[in-house]
Amino acid sequence: MVDRARKPSALASTPGLPPQPQVAFSADNSSVTATLPTGESVSVLLYGATVISWKDKDGHEKLWLSEAAKLDGSKPVRGGIPLVFPVFGTAPDHAQTKSLPQHGFARSSRWEFLGKSTSESTPTPTTPAFAATATSAAGAVAAAAADMSVKLDFGLSSSGLSEDARQKWPYAFNAIYSVTLNTDSLTTNLVVTNDDERSWECQVLMHTYLRVEDISSVSISGLSSASYVDKTTSPPSTATQTSPVLTISSETDRVYTPAGDSPDSVPITVLSNDKPKFTVLRDNLSNVVVWNPWIEKAKGMADFEPKDGYKNMLCVEPGAVGTWQVLEPGDAFEGAQTIVLGGGKTQQD
């Protein structure tokens, strides 16, 4: 054999395809789980399109789910991220939604899994990530895998509702709910379109239960000077957040409207022992509900277990619930949240 001086480099040095995210259904087809090559995962129950688990690469759970949560479709899930639509709470004085159950029908309807999509953002040669890892084919593949995301899409329309729900809310609509998992964040995005010949009104909220180590060590920033409705008083009262951070030491149920000309641009940060644990970014969701049932209310909820679980959870719920969203025929409403682990990047960056 002739030994060529300029023979091609070994094939092993040619970058290969990075590992791909994996998507799998549960044995009973009730839920779908997506897992990134780096180990992060998210699980979504088709009942309610409820996110019931979000884990980091080490398997640490980021959402709180009651040990008594019903996952069989018999009632809305206590924990995770239930989806609230078309009404927040109950609205006995609102003609279009007065007959609906608390928080509407989205969280108690079976959604259709529409499919998955993946994307990657390959580091450029000028970034530290590229310099550190892309010096070999294996390094380039690892870098691409570490920057990968997976999106799960779910659909619900008026034709997919129960007969009872259609009678109580007889309007045609189509909803697409997307759950996107990144290595350091989770995004939930809802697009609702009015397919009716009539206009209708709605409210939207993502009822996120965050897992915390100890509620007594938790504080929340981003709400300073925000007006809020306190739903623990009878009747509900209004006030303004005067302290720079909010701490939880009793039952808390507040609907905040962050201060500023663009309330949905204010990041909400959950800190544990003064260190950022979650940063919640919002898009077209101008309100934030902060909820913790505390001792007595937790005791009174049959599906809230353990009863001292209030110590390990905090609901930070982006929504558009301060007013009604009016959708004319053919109009659409879109709102989203991104929960970033740690301090994260703000929308202003």
Residue type, 77: V
> Residue 40 catalytic?
no
207 included as an active-site residue: yes
Q: Which residue in the list 201, 207, 296, 305 is annotated as catalytic? A: 207
| Residue type for position 122 | T
Is 107 one of the annotated binding-site residues?
A: yes
Helix (H, G, I), strand (E, B) or coil at 316: strand
Q: What residues pair up with 332 in beta bridges, in sequence order?
A: 193
254 a known binding residue? no
Can you read off the two tokens belonging to residue 2?
């002739």
Per the DSSP assignment, residues forming a β-bridge with 152 are 116, 179
Distance CA 269, CA 322 (A): 21
- Residue 167 assigned ligand-binding role: no
**Cβ neighbour number for residue 255 with a 10 Å cutoff:** 23
- Annotated catalytic residue: which of 112, 213, 305, 317? 317
- Return contacts of 133-136, CB within 8 angstroms, 24+ apart: 136/13
User: Other C-beta atoms within 10 Å of 223: how many?
Assistant: 24
347 CB-side CA count, 13 A: 18
Peptide bond between residue 128 and the one before it cis (omega within 30 degrees of 0): no
Binding residue positions for substrate: 78, 102, 107
Q: What amino acid positions are annotated as catalytic residues?
A: 207, 317
Binding residue positions: 78, 102, 107
